[in-house]
Structures are given as structure tokens and as C-alpha cells.
Amino acid sequence: VSDELCVMIMSVRKGKRLVARLLPFLPAAQAAAVVMVIARNLPALAKKDKQDQVLCCLVDPVSAVIQSLSSSALTDLLQELQGSEGQLTTVLQNKVNRMRQLVSQRGKTGDHLVRWENIC
């Protein structure tokens, strides 16, 4: 799986949804390779997803692939997520900051119910 091609496809809303629908049908090795590409490029994908907010549709298919990984493949994936620049930390911090903004906005309008779909 080419990183450039995968990122190009996932740069648009339909591409993310296509990958989410395709992952369950790929052979285990190819699905793991796609998940590794997603992990390597997670900050860029998250940045491009700010307007679309569709990246969270990948949670279930990626989770299924992760559950099927061997321990060595899972270790490789975690190392990709850690990255040399702390990619996982950056992405999680962005999501937490987004959640804080939504809670703050909801508090100002008097609506105290924050749905998970709005956070993703």
C-alpha cells in the first residue's frame, strides 16, 4: 500500500468512507498494511479531516483489524503511532481540546448534553 495514494484517497470525505467500507473485505495482510499507513499519516489525515469530521467512521473497521493483529504487528503499529514526533499524543491532545471547546460552547448556550458524534 502506497502512503501517498492512501493519503490522497483519504483526503476526501468519500475516500475515508470507502476505506472504512473496504477494510473488512481485505485479506488480513492488506488490511494491516492499510492500518499501518493510516497510523503513519494520522496527523496529516486528522488535519485534513477538520472540516469533514468523517475520520471517526474508521474506528470500527480499524478496531477489527487491530484485534486480528499478531503481537509483533501490534507492536509495530504502536511504534508507528508513537512516532518520533509523538504523533499519537498530538492527535489525542487535538481531540481533547476539541472536546473542551464543545463543552464550553454547550455550557454557554445552556445545552449540557454533548453527544459523542459531535466530538468525533
Each residue's pLDDT tens digit, 51-105: 878 888 888 998 898 888 888 888 887 777 776 455 556 656 666 666 666 666 6
Cα 116 to Cα 59: distance, rounded to the nearest angstrom: 13
Q: Is the pTM of this model over 0.85?
A: no
Is the sign of the CA dihedral 26, 27, 29, 30 positive or negative?
Answer: negative
Listed residue (8, 2, 85, 77) closest to 43, CA to CA: 85
Confidence band of 20 (pLDDT split at 50, 70, 90): very high
Choose between 47 and 117: higher pLDDT.
Answer: 47
Cα angle: 30, vertex 31, 33; to 5 degrees: 60
Each residue's pLDDT tens digit, 21-41: 999 999 988 999 998 888 888
Listed residue (47, 48, 44, 20) closest to 34, CA to CA: 20
Helices (H), ranges, the chain: 3-10, 13-22, 28-40, 42-48, 59-68, 71-82, 87-109, 116-119
